[in-house]
Amino acid sequence: MTRLFGTDGVRGLANETLTAPLALKLGAAAATVLTKDRRSEKRRPVALIGRDPRVSGEMLAAAMAAGMASKGVDVLRVGVIPTPGLAFLTDDYGADIGVMISASHNPMPDNGIKFFSAGGRKLPDNIEDEIERTMAALEDTGPTGTSIGRVIEEASDAQERYLAHLKEAVSADLSGIKVVVDCANGAASEVAPMAYAAAGATVTAIHNTPNAYNINDGSGSTHMDQIQAAVVEHGADLGLAHDGDADRCLAVDAHGNIVDGDQIMAVLATAMRDSNSLKANTLVATVMSNLGLKQAMKREGIEMRETKVGDRYVLEELERGDFSLGGEQSGHIVVPEHATTGDGVLSGLLLMARMAETGKSLEELARVMTVLPQTLINVPVSDKSRILDDDSVRAAISEAEAELCESGRVLLRPSGTEELFRVMVEAAEEEQARKVAGQLAAVVAAV
C-alpha cells in the first residue's frame, strides 16, 4: 500500500487525489491519534486550522474541521496565515493540534495538508503511520450531543499575534532600508509587508493580491525574474521573495542578483557567531547545499553539519544537537529560538537586521560565500535501487572525484518521488561542472 504521507504532509491534485472526503477522514483520524493522551483532561482538545489563499483550501479546511469536530475536538479556524504563523499560533494558543492547508510553492490546482503537534512541531514518521492505520479502521460514528466539537470561524487576533511575535523576535530598526517583497499571491500577502513596515523598512509589495487562483503563478521564490526586475526598477536596497505559504525566503541584491538560501545562511551564521548566539558554532544544512557554503564556513571558523535533503532532517539535526541555525538552499531556513519550522518572513527580517547592524549592502554581505557553478541532471532509470551498487557507476564517481579534487564535488541520489536519479556536480568552472555531470549521467543512463 502506498504511504499517504510524503516528505511534507499529504499532497495531491485537489478534488482528484486530495478530496474533501479524504480530508474529513484524515481529520477524524488525526484528532483520534493526536488527542488520545488528553482525553482524561477536563477541557476538550483544541485544533487550529490555517490555509493559504488557493481556492481548494476553503473546501479542504471545512472538511478537516468537520472531521475533527466529529471526534470531539474544538476547532479554531485562523484563516489565511503563513505555515510558520500557524506553527507559532498552535503553541501560542495552547492548542493540541495545528493543521496547515497548503501546497507551498506548488501550482494552484495542487494542495496539501500538514499537521503540527502541541508546541507547533511537525509529526515524526511513526505518528503519521499511526494516523494512516487509524484511518483504515475508523468508525463512521463518534460522540453525540454536547460531546461534539465546536467550530469557531475565525480567530480575530491570529494575524496580530503572529506579527507581535515577529516584532519581538527581531527588534532591529530597519529605517532607511528600501525593500521589495514578492508575496507570490500567497499566505504572506498581508503579513510580510506589514511585518517589514512595522520594523521601519520602506516596503514595495508585488504579487500581494491573491484571488484564490493566482498563488505562485509566475511569482514568488520559484519565479525570481519578477522581483529581480522590480528591485532595479524601484531602486531598492534588496528584494525578498516568498513562496505560497511563506516558509521560504530568497533574496535579491540592489543590482538584481539572486542571493539564495545558502548565501542567506552564510550571512546569518556569521551574524549569529558575532553575537555569540550560534550554538556550538555550528550551521546545519543539507547535502544539496553548495560546496561554496562549506568552504565559506570553514574559512569563517564555523562547523557545518550536513543532513539528507528535506527540512525535516534539518529540524531533526537541530533538535538533536541543540543547534541554533539550519536550512536549505531553497530558502527554507530555521532559527529554533524563534520558530519550530522554516519562517520566510523571519528570515527576511534577520537578513535586513544584519544590513542595518553592519551598514553593509546585501551584495557586500553575500560575498562571505562564493557560489560554485553547479550542474544538476535528472536521469530516468528503471530501478533506482541498483544505481549506486553498479561497478561502472562507482568507477565513474571515483574518476570524477579524482578530477575535481577539493575544488568540486559529486553527489548522486535517487529522487524521492519519481524513477529518476539525480546527478549533481559542482566545480570551480561551469564548463567543467557540465562536462563531468554529463559523463556521469551517461554512465547512470546505461545501467
Catalytic residue list: 104
**Quick one: residue 296, left, alpha or beta (phi over 0 = left, psi -120 to 50 = alpha)?**
alpha
The owner of cell 514578492 is 182
Could you write out the DSSP letters of every residue in 400-429?
HHHHHGGG-EEEEEE-SSSSEEEEEEE-SS
Residue in 214, 216, 218 with CA at minimum distance from that of residue 226: 218
Strands 326-327 and 250-253: unpaired
Structure-block grid coordinates of residue 387: 544505481
Is 289 labeled as ligand-binding? no
237 carries a ligand binding annotation: no
Rounded distance between C-alpha atoms, residue 331 and residue 269, angstroms: 14
Query: Is 247 within any annotated ligand binding site?
Result: yes
Distance separating alpha carbons of residues 143 and 150, to the nearest angstrom: 12
In whole angstroms, give the CA distance from residue 365 to residue 281: 19
User: CA torsion angle for 328, 332, 338, 340 (degrees, to 10)?
Assistant: -90
**DSSP-derived 3-state class of residue 270:** helix
Is residue 243 a known part of a binding site?
yes
Burial zone of 139 (CB within 10 Å; 0-12 exposed, 13-18 middle, 19+ buried): exposed
Q: Is 369 helix (H, G, I), strand (E, B) or coil?
A: coil
Known binding residues are 104, 243, 245, 247
Known binding residues for Mg(2+) are 104, 243, 245, 247
